[in-house]
Amino acid sequence: MKISVIGCGYLGAVHAVAMAHLGHEVVGIDSDPDKISSLSSGNPTILEPGFDILLKEGLNSGNIAFATDPEAARGATVHFIGVGTPQKAHSQAADLTYLEGAIDSLLPHLRPGDVVAGKSTVPVGTAAGLEPKIRRAGACLVWNPEFLREGSAVVDTLEPDRLVYGLSSEESDSNAGREALDECYEAPIAAGVPRLTMDFATAELVKVAANSFLATKISFINAMARACDATDADVVRLAQAIGMDERIGHRFLRAGIGFGGGCLPKDIRALQARAGELDLRDSFRFLAEVERINDGQRTRTIDALAELVGGLKGHKVTVLGATFKPETDDIRSSPALGIAASLVARGARVTITDPAASGQDVLAQVAGAEFSVQTDDAVAGADALILCTEWEQYNQLDPERIGGLVGERVIVDGRNALDPASWKRAGWTYRGIGRR
């Protein structure tokens, strides 16, 4: 099947190479000529395990090509829309400018019988608003939300835990959309991946509901971490115990400095904004509290560090990690950078280190800090370390060796990823989140 993917950012690029790997003929389209040039040359534009392999595989097989001109989509049967829907400036609502632009650029190149498949995360009601113009072009619309996790996005695309199809109320369009997606995902379906069909509105809500639930779970365990701090309890053991309840589960029960990235923060805000438009603000007021707890984790962590070193002004603090999670170079809404910026504002001398993030991009967000790729250089002479991103190389640091490089042996484990006992044996003052 010939497929186009409109938008070659994180979502679109991963989806494009994955579809090529499944044997489809794919063209990835993006308005950024530098991005298209890099991808066409086999140079990954994102850090994602396995992406580079699938990109080179697709180019070598001829199954994938990239272009800036939307006309390149002509002749494809299914057109996936994977552009960003960022938060609007000065508003909680999602900005649909890129989505609407992608649809408008595609319309002249659609043929009767084509299928447009939306993958972008959108406010409920978006698909119903887009459907008439797509139908006028002779095509039909489906909504096929993605559930990718950065760091495992390739696997999540090729081996998803479910496939969600939001289908038109028009029977002919519904059948056409379902059949087209079934052909796209023939391999995962044959492997037993559940396929769920539903209306547009339900499909749109699935993604924001999932992300809002996960954000709530993270903020819940962080609230419990505060209770543990106040009572000398251990949130790690607490999470282990409650996670054994099959109704709860262990995932997303790690206390820390909070969630970030390009999805959870914007999606819970967009849901609150849409709830307000639907006169449902009271029903979703709890999400504001979820976000308040999340943001408060950063302040509490900084306060804990200040207590340990006797104030921050003039002290050198090394921030271990800049990305919002390991195995990615994504620094969007990264808690690490929020903490680093606050440390600078409170007078600390801050050095940030990360194995994947761009130092230029990091320093553009944290003015007044320094950046070092090399961990040893970053920690040299530090009065305190704070672990903000649980990269494996930080989790495996030798506390005795690192202790010989720093000025003072003080560490705040912002991800509860370290073994407190080993650091304490090496003479470190250790502080975790909801554990000591």
Both structure tokens of 56: 């080179």
Query: How far is residue 144's CA from residue 201's CA, in Å, rounded to a whole number?
Result: 11
Please name which of 13, 35, 278, 260 lies closest in space to residue 146, comparing C-alpha atoms.
13
Report helix, strand or coil for 42.
coil
Please name which of 144, 148, 149, 160 lies closest in space to residue 202, comparing C-alpha atoms.
144
Q: In 254-334, where does DSSP find H-type helix?
A: 264-277, 286-309
Adjacent-strand bridge partners of 233? none
Both structure tokens of 358: 């761009």
* Inter-residue contact 250 to 218 (CB < 8 Å): no
* Inter-residue contact 418 to 390 (CB < 8 Å): no
Both structure tokens of 77: 């049967």
* Inter-residue contact 6 to 66 (CB < 8 Å): no
228 a catalytic residue: no
Q: Measure Cα distances from 426 to 97, 122, 209, 397 in Å.
A: 54, 50, 45, 12
> Could you say which of 8, 140, 263, 388 is catalytic?
263
Please name which of 255, 188, 198, 209 lies closest in space to residue 228, comparing C-alpha atoms.
255
Which residues are part of the catalytic machinery?
263
